[in-house]
């Protein structure tokens, strides 16, 4: 989260907080003196450090975000939680074109510009867990049902991207391992993802994935992705 702010934005609030704490201590000094307590400058430092620690190092910032939901647009959204990930991959079409080129299937006429002759996009489903703090953001992805070829997907780098008008994004690089019996296929490959916060649904991220799978043969894969956060309903009934 700290990446979303310029350095001056981080320094100025600390400076003003220090001034306000010192002014507050100065205002209550007569009352404390009557009790035999003499405030010191070190008190102000301790108070400021405690407030910063509470707001930044601890998850208290999430409480502030819930108090003021507009911070999800003005700064960056709180993405913590588990997400259902649905993808539409072009692998079926790559496979069909490969078979057509080998003569194993009728050659698809690509000059028409129509997708009617191509097989539908293949679907896959995964689960993601995003762990976000003020200082870091991490993501785990796994195949909960074990359906399909995806065996393991490891997220290597996750980067939050601040956008205009609340269109914030998340970019990450992953390494995926597939269960495959095809010798010519790549069992392990890397890829990248760019997903953007949905305008209408704050609990959805939409974007695209692309990989270097079978890139030597010009068969790089890509997919449309949609992340939907599992929202815990309050109350019963």
pLDDT for the residue 97: 78
DSSP readout, 119-168? PPPEEEEEEEEEEE-SS-EEEEEE-SS--SSEEEEEEEEEEEE--GGG--
pLDDT for the residue 111: 46
pLDDT for the residue 43: 57
pTM: 0.73
pLDDT for the residue 228: 96
Helix, strand or coil, per DSSP, at residue 36: coil
**Cβ atoms 172, 208 nearer than 8 A:** no
Place of tokens 């601890």: 58
pLDDT for the residue 170: 93
pLDDT for the residue 131: 92
Cα torsion through 61, 130, 226, 1, rounded to 10: 40
Ranges of the chain with pLDDT below 70? 1-19, 22-23, 25-26, 28-55, 102-117, 146-151, 165-166, 180-185, 232-237
Digit-coded pLDDT (tens) for 117-138: 678 888 888 899 999 988 888 8
């Amino acid at each position: 989260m700290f990446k979303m702010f310029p350095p001056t934005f981080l320094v100025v609030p600390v400076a003003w907080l220090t001034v306000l704490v010192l002014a507050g201590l100065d205002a209550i000094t007569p009352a404390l003196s009557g009790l035999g307590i003499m405030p010191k400058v070190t008190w102000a430092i301790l108070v400021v450090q405690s407030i910063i620690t509470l707001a930044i190092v601890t998850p208290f910032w999430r409480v502030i975000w819930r108090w003021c939901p507009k911070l999800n647009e003005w700064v960056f959204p709180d993405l913590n939680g588990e997400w259902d990930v649905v993808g539409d991959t072009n692998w079926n079409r790559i496979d069909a074109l490969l078979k057509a080129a080998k003569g194993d299937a009728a050659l698809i006429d690509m000059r028409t510009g129509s997708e009617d002759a191509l097989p539908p996009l293949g679907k896959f489903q995964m689960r993601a867990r995003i762990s976000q703090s003020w200082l870091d953001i991490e993501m785990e992805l796994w195949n909960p049902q074990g359906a399909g070829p995806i065996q393991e997907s490891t997220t290597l780098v996750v980067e939050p991207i601040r956008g205009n008008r609340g269109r914030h994004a998340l970019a990450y690089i992953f390494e995926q391992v597939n269960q495959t019996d095809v010798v010519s296929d790549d069992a392990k490959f890397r890829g990248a993802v760019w997903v953007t916060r949905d305008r209408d649904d704050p609990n959805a991220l939409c974007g695209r994935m692309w990989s270097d799978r079978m890139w030597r043969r010009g068969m790089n894969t890509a997919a449309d992705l949609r992340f939907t956060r599992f929202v815990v309903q309050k109350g019963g009934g």
